Amino acid sequence: MPIHDAIMIECNDKGIAQNVAQLMKDTANQLFNGEFAHVTVEALGGIDNE
């Protein structure tokens, strides 16, 4: 049975966001002994990404 969950973290730049995403993916995969976690990095919409 698949488990779906979402976590949203605001970061100052894309590089930091990608590092945080990779850390979260690695941690989830380690906790559940598998390679199943997926992450996406997306910019918030609006003026100046606010």
The model's pLDDT over 3-46, given as tens digits with 9 standing for 90+, comes to 677 888 888 888 999 999 999 999 989 988 887 888 888 887 65
Residue 27 is predicted with a pLDDT of 92
Quote the pLDDT of residue 48.
57
How high is the pLDDT of residue 1? 54
What span, in angstroms and rounded, lies between the C-alpha atoms of 14 and 11? 7
Collect all residues with Cβ–Cβ distance below 8 Å to 20 and sequence separation of at least 6: 9, 11
| 0.75 exceeded by pTM | no
Greater model confidence, 48 or 6: 6
